[in-house]
Amino acid sequence: MLPLTRRNYLASLLTLGTTGAAMLHRLAADESPSASVADRSSSIRITKLTPIPFARKVYIKLETNHGVTGWGEIDQLDPNVASGLVRSLFELLDGENPTRIEHLWQKIYRSHRDIRGGSFMVHTLAGIDMALWDIAGKLWGVPVHRLLGGATRDKVRVYPSASATKVGSGPKGFTGTPQEIEALVNGIASARKRVGPNGIVMFDAHCALPPPFLLQFASAVKAHEITYIEEPAVPGNIEVFKRLKQQINIPFAVGEQARTIFDVVQYLQNGIADFMQVDCAHTGGISQTRKIATMAEAYQVPLTPHCVTTDLGMAASLHVSASVPLFFIHEYYPSITPKDLVDKDWEISADGYASLPTRPGIGCVINEKRLEELSKLPIVPEWPVRGRLPDGSVADY
């Protein structure tokens, strides 16, 4: 009698015909590392979607029948209105497979012809999209950037830092006095002194400098002192951007208020964008930011994400920045995240770089007890407090 080894056992199964083949198939499936994942990904379903508003943010918790939970962040909306929209949109997600991320994104985005593409729909969709990617990464046991094609860099440069800073301006009149122009130019000079000749200085116009004022400022400052002008004009009329681009020899960063690829394409086609400054929480989440980065790549325009979220939204954006070929620098303010709310696995180095997230999914663990405490505090709306000119009229900002 032959010794009972694995090889002899398998050989004996082959002599049993179809019965043996079926047993071999089950044996192979049992030993396959992907077997349990494949089963869970095919049978997983969304069961609950909970919005938790706090301060000026909304966290959303997306739950499934397999106990895998995803988290996302909604930013720059009235939290109470955004929370109501989340509850309404759950009707489109209930019972769906959360790994069908693109399908669910399209299902929500195209669900209502009269709110398609609006800020409330797209900002809310961004938070849902983050949560879907979080679930997918956790389900397959990898960071989201691995699902996006893998990291294209070892670390992600961020600002503000010792070598990169931004100077901004509030609302101004249509033209500047010599004193006003000089004050902005001096601000650039001070920033340059802080970061040194090899550092980065960005100027944020905040859509708050009317074209004549911006032209005056741009002609008064040395072009090489500024890496780019952010938000040079109010979105809506591409001809304004084209007029400014023709007269200003400083690069433009655009896209902070762009929502989806449909808003971005005009900046690329008309040669306006030198840096693509979209926000993951404004433009439909991880899915749409990745698409925009790919579009921009065709025009040799690097991704330069705007970001005023907590560490949860920042982490989602980091995954995209880690995975795209053309990237410049990422905005990040640690002070926005309430203490003890988010446990993350990435850090900012002394020289201004974020390490890559390594945990499965987005990589953030939410302190739900702390979140509950924050949700009970009064929410103060962020209405414009700086958008007034000396004559009392309302300014852009």
Strands of the sheet with 330-331, listed across from one edge: 330-331, 155-159, 353-355
Domain locations along the chain? 42-142, 147-361
Contact assessment for residue 74 and residue 120, using Cβ atoms and an 8 Å cutoff: no
CA proximity to 231, closest of 160, 170, 158: 170
Residue 380 and residue 74: Cα distance in Å, rounded?
Answer: 16
Per-residue pLDDT of the chain (397 residues; tens, 9 = 90+): 555 555 554 455 445 454 554 444 554 445 555 555 556 778 999 999 999 999 999 999 999 999 999 999 999 999 999 999 999 999 999 999 999 999 999 999 999 888 888 899 999 999 999 999 999 999 999 999 999 999 999 999 999 999 999 999 999 999 999 999 999 999 999 999 999 999 999 999 999 999 999 999 999 999 999 999 999 999 999 999 999 999 999 999 999 999 999 999 999 999 999 999 999 999 999 999 999 999 999 999 999 999 999 999 999 999 999 999 999 999 999 999 999 999 999 999 999 999 999 999 999 999 999 999 999 999 887 776 777 888 989 888 8
DSSP, residue by residue, 82-113: HHHHHHHHHHHHTT--TT-HHHHHHHHHTS-T
CATH code: domain 147-361 is 3.20.20.120
| Residue partners of 91: CB distance under 8 A and separation at least 6 | none
DSSP, residue by residue, 137-199: HHHHTSBHHHHTT--SSSEEEEESBTTEEEEE-----SS--HHHHHHHHHHHHHHHHHH-TTS
Instruction: Give 267's DSSP letter.
Output: H
Q: Could you tell me the fold of the domain covering 42-142?
A: Enolase-like; domain 1 (3.30.390)
Phi, then psi, of 71 in degrees rounded to 5 = -125, 145
